[in-house]
Amino acid sequence: MNAPCCLCNAPATRHTRSITQGPLCTACATALPWYASPRCPQCALPTLHHATCGICLQHPPAFDRTLAIFRYAYPLDHLLHQFKYHQHLAIGKWLAESMLSSLPPQLTQMRPDILLAMPMHAHRLRQRGFNHALELARHLQQTLGIPLDIDGCTRIVDTPSQTGMDMKTRIRNLRGAFASPTQWQGKHVMVVDDVMTTGASMHAVSQVLKQAGAGRVTALVFARTLKDTED
């Protein structure tokens, strides 16, 4: 028997279980904030005609491209909270399926060599019980057939919470937080995470990967925050 909607607890009889709805009822699935507007190809913030934004032109991030499926807004924020903090793994599977169904055709022409999950410090991993980004990456790897390197980048410093910090402060907060033992030899690495807020974490990871020889880094995130909230 199907479980009720994981957001509003609507009875299972209202489920269709399509990829776009997943563990949601029709009403909640319809309310999801799909990200369909033109955006900067590098950081995925809104721009006209998919042009590179002024911030990325003046201060390019270390990652080369961002693919984002949703805007980080209600009710998606509640859905991600269920997945990350209540280990609702069925949501994780649906998140990955939504990513796969929305990947642009160009990805086959610029296919990554390696998948990585946004690293989580061991202390936080013990607290939470699992790395939500790694859970997403595992689902993606099974379908895409791209190798997943679970040790290619690690978080070696358990930095303080970044809530309320601006971009510059977040970058300082993350300095020295990541390490990569792998020599990437010009490879195209795709880093998977659930949400990009300012992009500071993705920038820090991408810097480390490029210092270790990565030729290109693509960020694949489920949602992009269009205002400054927690990263």
pLDDT digits (tens, 9 = 90+) for 164-178: 777 778 878 788 899
Residue 12's pLDDT is 65
Task: Indicate whether 130 and 218 sit together in one domain.
Answer: yes
Residue 17's pLDDT is 46
pLDDT single digits (tens) 32-59: 899 989 999 999 999 999 999 999 999 9
Residue 124 in this model has a pLDDT that exceeds 60: yes
C-alpha 196/C-alpha 199 separation (Å) is 6
- pTM for this one? 0.89
- Tally of domains within the chain: 2
Domain containing residue 91: 33-224
Q: Is residue 229, in this structure, part of any structural domain at all?
A: no
Q: Is residue 151, in this structure, part of any structural domain at all?
A: yes
Task: Indicate whether 82 and 93 sit together in one domain.
Answer: yes
Residue for token pair 């993606």? 140
- Residue 75: CB atoms within 10 A of its CB come to 16
Task: Indicate whether 200 and 179 sit together in one domain.
Answer: yes
pLDDT single digits (tens) 201-215: 999 999 999 999 999
Given a contact cutoff of 8 angstroms between Cβ atoms, the answer to whether 100 and 71 are in contact is no
Can you give the CATH number for the domain in which 137 is found?
3.40.50
Q: Is residue 153, in this structure, part of any structural domain at all?
A: yes
Task: Indicate whether 27 and 67 sit together in one domain.
Answer: no
Q: Is residue 50, in this structure, part of any structural domain at all?
A: yes
Task: Indicate whether 26 and 135 sit together in one domain.
Answer: no
Task: Indicate whether 1 and 85 sit together in one domain.
Answer: no
Task: Indicate whether 20 and 106 sit together in one domain.
Answer: no
Residue 18's pLDDT is 52
- Residue 197: CB atoms within 10 A of its CB come to 23
Task: Indicate whether 20 and 74 sit together in one domain.
Answer: no
Q: Is residue 118, in this structure, part of any structural domain at all?
A: yes
Task: Indicate whether 13 and 42 sit together in one domain.
Answer: no
Query: Which residues, at least 6 apart from 120, have a Cβ–Cβ distance to it below 8 Å?
Result: 128, 131, 133, 134, 155
Q: Is residue 230, in this structure, part of any structural domain at all?
A: no
Task: Indicate whether 1 and 69 sit together in one domain.
Answer: no
Region of 199 (left: φ > 0; alpha: ψ -120 to 50; beta: rest) is left
Task: Indicate whether 17 and 69 sit together in one domain.
Answer: no
Task: Indicate whether 27 and 72 sit together in one domain.
Answer: no
Q: Is residue 54, in this structure, part of any structural domain at all?
A: yes
Cα–Cα distances (Å) from 79 to 31, 83, 87, 99, in that order, read: 12, 7, 11, 15
Residue for token pair 């989580």? 120
Q: Is residue 138, in this structure, part of any structural domain at all?
A: yes
